[in-house]
Chain A
Amino acid sequence: MKAFSLLTAILALSGVAPSVATAQQGMPGGTPMTFFVTSTSIGTGGNLGGLAGADAHCQSLAAAVGAGSKTWRAYLSTQARPGQPAVNARDRIGTGPWYNFDGVMIARDLAHLHGDTLPLARLGNNLTKQTGLTERGQIVPGLNDYQVPRDGDWEYVKTTPYTNRHEILTGSQLDGRAFPPGLDYTCSNWTSNSDPAPGQAQGALEAGPGRPNAQIGFPDRNGGGNGSWNSSHGTTGCSQTALVRTHGVGKLYCFAIN
């Protein structure tokens, strides 16, 4: 018994427990899932095939766990281009409330999700490491989980399921809206997987002139010196290798609009 509780404790601490315990979506008769973090990434860096490709990724992951009857949208913004207006992530995802795999509400509405007023923003939404689950009910490994020297290496990450991969692509500002045109925050509206040319501040985690870059947030609310779920900092580039370097892997937030 003692050994068993120790094992349970280790599993609970390491975040493995939910992924082994769950086979079916949500509690029986519970609230249907309308929010998840993708369990897998598309795998081609910041090139998601545009918003359409990202939405299709959400839809197919949802369908694989029996939630394909809903219309799923990736939480992503795109920046304005000549003849093409900006798209705000917050305008794409319906009106909520949104529930995770366990049927736990992560936000009542758009204002709660984004903290539109000071009182709302100070309290925060209910998206935490415990609630920011994948469509299979897994906790997304975050800061302080599985710290191994190679967990920023794509070749290693490909074969290691539980390394830190908590950087979720959003391309959005804190309020869920697109960045103004100019600097790249969206890997060229989710079509680019290129990296900065040599000398273009490859180590920087922010946008810069001519630098391919994506804004990211953390479902575990931990990293970058702030707890932002949707707009903490940028990446070192748009290739898959660059995303992994700072503990992302190209995961997305998916919301059902119905």
Chain B
Amino acid sequence: MAEFLQLLISGLAVGMVYALIALGFVVVWKSSSVANLALGQLVLFSSWFTYGMLVQANFPLWLGFPVVILFALLLGWIIERFALRPLIAQPILSLITVTLGVAYFVEGIVTFIWPWSVDALPRLFPIEPFHLGAAVVSQEYVWVAGISLIMFVLLTLFFRYHKMGIAMRATADDQLAVQACGIPVTRIFSRSWMFACVVAAVGGILISSIGGISYGLVETGLKAFSVVILGGLDSFVGAVVAGPIIGLCENLGGGYLTPFLWAGVKDIIPFIIIIIVMLIKPYGLFGEVRIERI
């Protein structure tokens, strides 16, 4: 039972971070129908950048985080402006592969600047474990889950009440109508990329504060795809619901299946979920089923 509780809490926490990263994908997909396959590399890059700020440049936390957020905003703007903007209205194949090119490029930058490939962020959260009945739960997970929850609330408020959030939802709904209302659609695209980079950065910081920074962060970003697929590509609710489900499957499966299967089964569970969802319900739990016409 104690083990179950531990796995439950860590699974929920990690799943919420996946959901956070997945939200970045969904926003870009909804506003500009670009599939951002560079998610993993963005998570990797921003985690290393945080490392650079907090450890190498020795900034205090209150200064380091705003710098990281600013950097993420800039990164999103650059990617949209120079890689995606020239390809507006191109076939989906080009749009997907251009993000792959960006992914490759970002990975090159990361190995260029931080060639040692594994390191740890300084402790962001207190480490004393606390007891929940018989279970010993590391406090980090609770902090991570809490911060993710706060982010969700903030994002919901943003999309519901802020002018830009409403404009982004409108763009997702109908680009032509939005353009007719005088909202610059290209600016919305740009904002959605900036938004995606920021949530990737926050997700990256949260994940790497627990597990350290390594190349595995790319896989973390890719696991966010399983969240997107399970929840439905174009659904915010889907991402928020599917994230914890994936995290739970991953952690509980990793905890209980490893004795029967090979070690490391945990890392592969999200990808197996992708295949299963594809075969059974390809548009996910909350995704809109596209009806095609010739």
Q: Do A and B bind each other?
A: no
